[in-house]
Amino acid sequence: MPITNVSVMHEKLAYIEPILQHWIQCANQYINTWNQGDLPYWYNERANVSILAGAAWKAGWTAIQEHQAVKSANDKNDSGRNDLYLANASLGVCAEAKIVYIDINSPEDFEGYVSRSMSAAKHGVETISGNDGDERLAISFVVGKVKQNDDMGESINRFKRMATEFPTHAYAIFCLDAEKTLTAKDGYYYPALLFILSEFKNLPANY
């Protein structure tokens, strides 16, 4: 079984917890379908957003990807796309996502890479006009990779420590079982995925 963890640190994001739980189930279902020969987080941002969209539907929400949207920047409106829009009967959420790949055993890179990824996602979602009352989510898919001769168990534990220490509003962690044979790609294994979210509308300025 994969090692998983979901944590929501701010009450305004309580609505996202069921989606995160289903996201873990969807990721695991994908991996099991391909007998761990393929991982959804090997792929790009859009592929990973598709897993999240599926999780939203399973959690009772609606979800639409890459839909046309008005983006405002520098007092100018342009036609663009929103990575993901989530909605249920009472709430709409605009979300923008980024993906970043990190060598787990180079921990000095973790905070900088993840911070830049989150900043880019925040900037993207801030420009979306959206509907009145929409919440906004900045999302970063943080993919952990290790070299083939690294200690897999210790690498996963290190990734979990870095993930839980990163300042954010909610996260979900998905790590493959270190005991299982993992498929190598480009000289690396990819055993771990961190999905972090930051909700920044109507939160206290110092949060």
| pLDDT digit string, tens, across residues 59-82 | 999 999 988 777 765 556 666 788
Share of the chain above pLDDT 70, in %: 88
- CA-based torsion, 190, 42, 80, 60: positive or negative: negative
Residues 19-34 have a mean pLDDT of 94
pLDDT at 108 over 80: yes
Sorted by where each begins, the domain ranges of the chain are 3-199
Sequence-separated contacts (24+) of 154-157 with Cβ below 8 Å:
155/104, 155/105, 155/191, 155/192, 156/3, 156/104, 156/191, 156/192
| pLDDT confidence band for 4 (50 / 70 / 90) | very high
| pLDDT confidence band for 11 (50 / 70 / 90) | confident
CB-based contact 89:100 (threshold 8 Å): no
pLDDT at 202 over 60: no
Least confident among 110-124, 166-180, 193-207: 193-207
Residue 187, by phi and psi: left (phi above 0), alpha (psi -120 to 50) or beta? left
Least confident among 15-19, 135-139, 186-190: 186-190
Residue 78 is predicted with a pLDDT of: 65
Residues 105-125 have a mean pLDDT of 90
| pLDDT confidence band for 203 (50 / 70 / 90) | very low
Higher per-residue pLDDT: 83 or 181? 83
